[in-house]
Chains A and B, each alone.
Chain A
Amino acid sequence: MKLLWPLALLTLLGVTGCVTPGRDVRLTGNIFVDAPMMITNGPAGDRILWEDRLALAALRHGDFALARRSLDNVLLNSGGISGDGSARLARSYFHPESTKRFIGEPYERVMAFYYRGLLYWMDGEPDNARACFRSAAIQDADNENHEYSADYVVLDYLEGLTTLKLAGDGSDAIKRAQKEVRASRPPPPNPKANLLFFLEFSPGPLKFASGEYREQLHFSVERPLAQSAEVVVDGQALRTGPWDDLYFQATTRGGRVMDHILANKAVFKSATDIAGNIGILGGAVAALQNNRTSQEVGLGLIAAGLISKVISASTTPEADLRAWDNLPRYLGFGAMEVSPGSHTATVYFRDGSGVLLPRLTKTLTLNVPADGNDKVVFVSDQSTSPQNL
């Protein structure tokens, strides 16, 4: 018995510090340095997030091999039915949501498949590209309220266009795309168009939390700069506004099951905190009585109150704010028919009033193949320029 309390104290010191110490990793601000470092040395649960960021940076840089590898890692780890120990922990009272392996909110998972799809098309595999666009759409396919689900214009349009190019009937997909239009209406698809532009502009959604314990996940977005794009190739011009808005997609998909879990955690945290306060206060009042029994009961209540406070303090309802934060806001697409050979393309971006934003202009030298395969070009307002593709 004499050893009980020192043993208990030692147990406390040993167990409450039972957290795997994290490696101290310092970021340089250069995604091509930070991402590989974090993928190797950072938390395992954040690997997919860094692969996502690296893939998009690589696409914008014209390093398609790197983008391909990163996205294949992402889809390998997140493209199936996800369920693992980290997810179970994230649902528990005493681990935050960010404990779970990051695979992204639906709009983030959509974009991983979208980018991989355009790379498959770039490699002359339109059927695998179509598969990716379909998988992307299905990421958005279910939500709690069944509104605004599977409503990406660009995904359905691209499914239809690839099907037409594969000599199939893409009309159903095109009809769905036309029905989902909120801003810019896509043109009728031209299966003969062999120069395809995947366009994106303006900064995408970011995450923040609100609520008493920061358990409610919300999205914010910066004021958009570029709101339309114009591509000029050999005097031929095509203009596109936003076909899809990722901020709209992020904010309208509806509630997550995890939102309910976090709300329950917040209620539990609050309840145990209140119970703790009551126990301590009640116990203190009882302990101050001139009665041994009351004092003992009071100390018991204080002890129980302390335990309840510790439980409350240990409860973690905070929402996961990890975000694929270099995503764009707007997606657009354009296609034209050109002769095989070398062409120069200039891509202009304009603001909401149509005013040109000259510092975002991109120049591309393109080599359109003669073998009948499409030339797929990815252009972001953040892409490096010039590029030789």
Chain B
Amino acid sequence: MNLLNPRFHLTVIALAGLVAGCATQGVHSPSGVPVTEMRPDEQGFVAGTGVESQDLVRVTDKMARSIVGIPQIAGAQGQPRIVLDPVENNTRFPINKDVFLTRIRVQLNSKSAGKVLFLARDRMKALQHERELKQSGQVTASADPNVVEFKGADFFLTGKLDGMSTRTSAGTSDYILYSFQLIDARTSDIIWEDSAEIKKQGLEDAAYR
């Protein structure tokens, strides 16, 4: 190889230009990732240390199975009526609190074979309006609309999410205790309680620390 040859020099310069190469080299999935459908109980690649769908599924499945087996439900005369009372969030993660009780309710409705009934207290405004329409004769009624037929609750289903969080140079760790209770509306007895606990940890990229 003749080092004095200008072509050699230009080749070297061209190769040097390769060093400052494409900006996307080393980037994972530079074009993004196509949308795929996942099971709600699967952990996706977008993950954090907070409350996620697979936690919701795991916790609510456990609670629903647990409620169905208690004597006050399994051996009840008639169908106990349950009202959902909003869950309290005592973690560091803002969450959609309604989704927990909604999923438990759906699981119970689908798996308890009618052993329990839930009262739609969140729809009372619409139901009251319908009753008023019937009372005023603006719409038909299949029963006497002046008789109060809205049911009272036998039990309240509620819960609380408690969290403990740590953050050090080694990473972030979050523990969440999901606890749910069924409360006797007449006596305030907690007739059922169950819980699930999940701990997660992670460390963010050094570029963000």
CA distance A127 to B93 in the complex (A): 10
A-B contact count (CB 8 A): 168
- Of the candidates B4, B19, B209, the one whose C-beta lies within 8 Å of that of A314 is B19
Q: How far is the CA of A132 from the CA of B191 in the complex (A)?
A: 33
Instruction: Tell me which of A83, A131, A258, A310 contacts B93 (CB under 8 A).
Output: A131
Binds B, one of A49-57, A84-92, A184-192, A193-201: A84-92
Interface residues on A, range: 35 or more
Contact of A11 among B17, B49, B89 (CB under 8 A): B17
| Other-chain contact of B168, A117, A142, A295, A311 (Cβ < 8 Å) | A142
Stretch of A28-36, A210-218, A298-306, A326-334 lying at the B interface = A298-306
Chain A: minimal CB distance from B177 (Å) = 15
The answer for the CA separation of A92 and B49 in the assembled complex, in Å, is 27
Indicate whether B20 reaches chain A with its CB closer than 8 angstroms.
Answer: yes
Q: A8-B15, A15-B18 are contacts. A85–B29 as well, Cβ < 8 Å? A: yes
B167 touches A303 (CB 8 A): no
Say which residue of A116, A142, A295, A311 sits within 8 Å of B94 (CB atoms).
A116
Whole-angstrom distance from the CB of A7 to the nearest CB of chain B?
8
Task: Flag if B94 contacts A120 (CB, 8 Å).
Answer: yes
8 Å CB contact of A127 from B10, B13, B90, B169:
B90
Q: Pick the interface stretch among A133-141, A228-236, A347-355, A356-364.
A: A133-141
Chain A residue nearest to B20 in the complex (CB): A314
- Distance in angstroms from A384 CB to nearest chain B CB is 27
**A307–B16 CB distance below 8 A:** yes
Q: Are B207 and A94 in contact (CB under 8 A)?
A: no
Can you list, as one digit per residue, whether each of B165-202 has a CB less than 8 Å from chain A (1) or not (0)?
Answer: 10111001000000000000000000000000000001
Given A88-B26, A295-B4, answer yes or no on A142-B167 (Cβ-Cβ < 8 Å): yes
Q: Report the minimal beta-carbon distance from B116 to chain A, rounded to whole angstroms.
A: 27
CB-based contact A166/B208 at 8 Å: no
Taking the complex as formed, is A225 at the interface, i.e. its CB lies under 8 A from any CB of chain B?
A: no
- Whether A87 touches B207, Cβ cut-off 8 Å, given contacts A11-B14, A128-B97, A307-B16, is yes
Instruction: Decide: B19 and A307 in contact? CB cutoff 8 A.
Output: yes
State whether A20 touches B23 (Cβ < 8 A).
yes
Which B residues between 89 and 107 are near A, CB-CB below 8 angstroms? 89-95, 97
Which single member of A75, A85, A91, A116 contacts B27 (CB below 8 Å)?
A: A85
* Residues of B close to A4: CB separation below 8 A: 7, 11
Q: B23–A95 contact, CB under 8 A? A: yes
**Chain B residues whose CB sits within 8 angstroms of the CB of A303 once the complex forms:** 9, 12
Q: Cβ of B113: which chain A residues have Cβ within 8 Å of it?
A: none
Contacts of B92 in A (CB 8 A): 131, 134-135, 138
**A86-118 vs B, Cβ < 8 Å mask (1 yes, 0 no):** 111111101101011001000000000000110
Bound CA span A313–B19, Å: 11
Q: Tell me which residues across on chain A come within 8 A of B29, comparing CB atoms.
A: 85
Asked if residues A88 and B23 are in contact (CB atoms below 8 Å), the reply is no
Q: Given A8-B14, A85-B29: A300 and B3 within 8 A (CB)?
A: yes
Q: How far is the CA of A117 from the CA of B172 in the complex (A)?
A: 21
Residue of A12, A20, A92, A311 with most chain B CB atoms under a 10 A cut-off: A12
Interface pair A311/B19, CB less than 8 Å apart? yes
Residues on the A chain within 8 Å of B88, using CB: 127, 166
Closest to A14 in B: B17
Give me the interface of A with B, judged by CB distance under 8 Å. Answer: 4-5, 8-9, 11-12, 15-16, 18-20, 75, 79-92, 94-95, 97, 99-100, 103, 116-117, 120, 125, 127-132, 134-135, 138, 141-142, 144, 166, 168, 256-258, 261, 295-296, 299-300, 303, 306-307, 310-311, 313-314
| A-B CB proximity, top 9 nearest | A80-B48, A8-B14, A5-B7, A134-B92, A87-B205, A12-B14, A83-B205, A81-B202, A87-B207
